[in-house]
Structures are given as C-alpha cells and as structure tokens.
Structure 1
Amino acid sequence: MTAMLSISNLHASYGKAEALHGIDLTVETGEVVCLIGRNGVGKSSTMKSIVRDQITVTGGEVVFDGASLAGLRPYEVVRRGVGYVPEDRRVFASLSVLENLRVPRPVSAGDRRNWNVEQVFELFPQLYDYRHRKAGVMSGGEQQMLSIARSLITCPKLLLLDEPHEGLAPKIAEEVVTAIAALKREGVSMVISEQALNTIRRCADRVYVVDRGMTVWNGTVDGFYADPEIARKYLMVS
C-alpha cells in the first residue's frame, strides 16, 4: 500500500543556512505520527518543508497522495489536502472567530472527511461560546483551537500540527490534546511536532526522532517507551 505521505532524504534551508540534512518519514492513511526532538533540531522546518512555508527545499522528495509536492506554493499544497497549523497560529486578530472560520476557500471534499463550522464547534465548544469575539483578544489556547478548527474547514486528508500546546496553560493544553485524540478517533491522519510525552502516549501510532536536521530513530510508540534512553538522549527527560 502506498503511504499517504512519503518524505525521502529531505534537505532544506533558510537562505544559506541549511536546516534539514536528511529527513525520512512516512504516514499511512489514518495514522498519527509524532515528530519529536529538542527545540531547534528541525521539527518545525520539516513541517514547513511539506507545505513550502518560508523555507527552500534543496534536496530529497516529498510525495503526498501519490504526487510530488515539488514546485507548489503553500496554498496549492493546502488545496491538495494538507492542513497546516503552525506554531505561531496565524489567526486574523481583527476578525471574529466566525469570520476566521469563513476565511478558508470552500473546497470540494470529494473523498475527504467533510468539516463545516458546526462540526468544528462540536469539537471545540468553547469556540462556539466565543464565536463573535475578536481573535486578537483570545488566549493562546483559544487561538490554538481556532487555528486547528480553521485548518479542518479546508477538509484536509492530512493535518500537520506544529507544537500544538507549546506555551499553553496545563488545563488548556489538556483540552487541545483531548481534541487531537478525538480527531484520531475520527480517523484523521496527522503529523504532530511534539515534546510532551503525554501527547505521544495518548495520540501517536508511530514516532520519528529528529536530531540536528536528520531522523535518527523511528518506530512504534511501544518501542519508544520500551527504551527510556531515547527520551533521555533526544528529549533530555528521564
């Protein structure tokens, strides 16, 4: 069976500064993959390389749904069915929650899972309560929920979540993880850039460890937890 996403020997750079030196990764349909590692090792750069967001791919190949993403612009990658929730969220501060959710261009879902505004409000009830509130006055956690919800409106086949609860209060972070677990139950394929062991345990099917711009380990979640040295070496936790 062909993987939904296949990344082979990916190299990428910001100007003359090379950020990725050989990333390999696959995601099967319905699978949740966690991309883990310390800050600055290339997790976010990998996400950006998939959607061609502010980074230049200099080598290797990214194939999504059987077709290369080479040469595409970010909006074209999204139209192909890749949803992207960046670490900085990028909500429109001057628009209300409802207006933010109406920004994505309507797509023909085809064989994709169809998401509409009512359905994302079911996933994030707090957003419904704040639907007329300007995004700029919302908390970081509420903006994260909005960013995920807005991405779902594009009816993605694959959802990329970059550090989804970075900097959030513990209670809000737990709500975000609960929503991610609910998306997994819905069969949404995801790549999650992550450092929190709780998220990995609850949500991931497989794990890729990134260090110095390269994938240095991959395996099942059970395999990851069976070897505590992996977390100690690459996440600096015990």
Structure 2
Amino acid sequence: MLRLTSVHAAYGKSEVLHGIDVAVQPGQVVCLIGRNGVGKSSTMKAIVQDQITVTGGEITFDGASLAGLSRHEIVRRGVGYVPEDRRVFATLTVLENLRVPRKVVAQDRRMWSLDQVFALFPQLHDYRHRIAGVMSGGEQQMLSIARALLTQPKLLLLDEPHEGLAPKVAEEVVDAIVALKAEGVAMIVSEQALNTIRRCADRVIVVDRGSTVWEGTVDAFYQDPEIARKYLMVQ
C-alpha cells in the first residue's frame, strides 16, 4: 500500500530525515516510535508533503509515486492525515468542521458517514453545535480524527494522537484507534507509549536521528526490551 524507501527530507536547507524506510500493508497498523525530535513527525509530513521537502528516496502509494503532488492531491488519493497540532477550524462548529472534507466516492475504500464517526466518537454528536475553538484538547483530537475519516482514507496517519491529553481522554482516543483497527483501517501511528503500541500495533518501526534503525513485529519488539530502553529511554 504505502512504501517509503531511503527517504531524505529537509526544512529549508536543514535536512532532518536521512534514510527512512517504511512499509504498510492494507489493514495493517504500524507504530512509528522514538524519542521526541528524532524524525517521527517529519516522516508523517514527508508522506503528505506538509511543510517539508523530500530531497531523496521514494514514496509510493498504491504503486504510484507521490512525488510532486500537493497535500490536497495526496489526501484525495486516500491518505488521511491527523497532525500533532490537530488543526481544527477554531471558529467553526463541530458539524461545520466535519462538513469541510469534499465528498469522495471510491469503490476500493471503506466509506465513512457522519453517523458512523458520531458512533465512534459520541461526544462529537453531543457537541456538534459547539464552536471547536472552545473544546478541550481531547475533544479537538477526536474531531480531527473524525474529519480525517470523512476524507475516506485507505490509510490514516496519526501523529502523536494522545500527546498532552489527560489520561482518561487519552485512553478514549486509544480505544478509538483499536476500534478503527478492528474495522480494517490501515494506519501509521507515531507513538511513544508502550501500552498503545501493545494494543494497536502489528509492526513497529524505530526512528532515531532521522533514520530507520529497527523494524519488526510487535511481538519481536516486546521480546527485546533493549530496543525500548535504548530508543524510548524506558528502563
């Protein structure tokens, strides 16, 4: 489905990715892990061409290169993106935010409706007439995920989905990710929490200093605690 091969990328003249390799198969959840600042978010941004320039390597989706495409075009091809900063439209209501994505009709995709995202996040239905800018961080995160689902993605990118959230709300977001996995939604989840990795991941990719340094199954990751100790500073 998605493949990154030896990807290099830069902000201006500052190269931050020095050889990223990622592969995601249909229905698979890949957790991209590593300490803060090692290149996880930059990898996500490189996939969707968000404020970063790919300077080397190749990114393909469904067998076609994403080189030279705009973020809008990449989303239309089936890559949903939930950035770390959420980017909800603060002056619009929840319902207005959810009506922003253009309608996509494609036979090769799982199609999401408003009712279905409200079933996934009941709070959003309760707050559907609330202005997004006054909502909590967790509610905005749910809104951002719901809005991305309404772009009808084949693959969903979640960058630090529960960063900065209260523990109870963070657990609700993880529950939603588990539910999406059960629906067969392919995802890349940028993550540091071991519990989330255990609950969600099929495969784990470790990023350090802008490069892929380890890749394997979630079982292999847990069988070698040195990986988490070295790259997540977990004792």
What TM-score range do you get, normalising by the shorter chain? over 0.9
> What is the SS of the residue equivalent to 2:91?
coil
Q: Does 1:181 align with 2:175?
A: no
Residue 109 (structure 1) shift: 2.8
Write the distance in 1 (CA, Å) between the matches of 2:160 and 2:58.
24
Q: Does 1:199 align with 2:186?
A: no
Write the distance in 1 (CA, Å) between the matches of 2:142 and 2:195.
18
Alignment partner, residue 137 of structure 2: 140
Which 5+ residue runs of structure 2 have no aligned equivalent? none
Write the distance in 2 (CA, Å) between the matches of 1:212 and 1:157.
29
Residue 110 (structure 1) shift: 2.0
Q: Does 1:72 align with 2:69?
A: yes
Q: TM-score, normalised by structure 2?
A: 0.99
Q: Does 1:167 align with 2:164?
A: yes
Write the distance in 1 (CA, Å) between the matches of 2:123 and 2:3.
35
Alignment partner, residue 187 of structure 2: 190
Alignment partner, residue 46 of structure 1: 43
AA matched with 2:43: T
Write the distance in 1 (CA, Å) between the matches of 2:22 and 2:63.
15
Alignment partner, residue 13 of structure 2: 16
> What is the SS of the residue equivalent to 2:215?
strand
Alignment partner, residue 56 of structure 1: 53
Structure 2 residue aligned with 1:105, among 98, 102, 106? 102
Measured against aligned partners, the alpha-carbon deviations of 1:18-57 in whole angstroms (never above 9, x if no partner) come to: 0100000100010000000000000000000000000000
AA matched with 2:195: N
Structure 1 residue aligned with 2:233, among 225, 232, 236? 236
* Within-5 A mapping of 1:201-220: 201-220=198-217
Write the distance in 2 (CA, Å) between the matches of 1:127 and 1:181.
18
Write the distance in 2 (CA, Å) between the matches of 1:213 and 1:110.
37
Write the distance in 1 (CA, Å) between the matches of 2:150 and 2:166.
26
AA matched with 1:138: M
Q: Does 1:154 align with 2:151?
A: yes
AA matched with 2:174: V
Alignment partner, residue 80 of structure 2: 83
Write the distance in 2 (CA, Å) between the matches of 1:230 and 1:135.
39
Alignment partner, residue 96 of structure 1: 93
What is the alpha-carbon root mean square deviation over aligned residues? 0.4
Measured against aligned partners, the alpha-carbon deviations of 1:202-231 in whole angstroms (never above 9, x if no partner) come to: 000000000000000000000000000000
Residue 108 (structure 1) shift: 1.0
AA matched with 1:15: G
AA matched with 2:200: C
AA matched with 1:139: S
> What is the SS of the residue equivalent to 1:57?
strand
Identity %: 79
Q: TM-score, normalised by structure 1?
A: 0.98
Measured against aligned partners, the alpha-carbon deviations of 1:78-131 in whole angstroms (never above 9, x if no partner) come to: 000000000000000000000000000111132100001110000000100000
AA matched with 1:120: V
Write the distance in 2 (CA, Å) between the matches of 1:119 and 1:226.
37
